[in-house]
């Protein structure tokens, strides 16, 4: 995950979406990493969702 987030920091003019992983221990750790990334990287355009349905994800 650190490698992915590090690569995203280097991109410009890119929009992206994260869906938060499962609520198990590793999933919560990944969620914290994603949340910190969004707080730190205000220049990037992206969204993260903590809960979504298949219909809302595809729309």
Helix, strand, or coil (residue 49): strand
Question: Residue 9: is its pLDDT beyond 80?
Answer: yes
Show the domain range for 18. 2-58
pLDDT score of 58 more than 70: yes
CB burial of residue 45 (10 Å; 0-12, 13-18, 19+)? exposed
pTM strictly above 0.75 = no
> What confidence tens digit (pLDDT) does each residue in 29-38 have?
888 888 888 8
Q: Number of folded domains in the chain?
A: 1
């Amino acid at each position: 995950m650190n490698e992915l987030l590090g690569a995203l920091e280097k991109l410009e003019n890119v929009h992206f979406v994260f869906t938060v992983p499962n609520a198990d221990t590793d999933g919560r750790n990944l969620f914290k990493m994603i949340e910190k990334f969004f707080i730190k990287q205000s220049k990037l355009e992206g969204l993260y969702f903590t809960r979504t349905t298949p219909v809302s994800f595809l729309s």
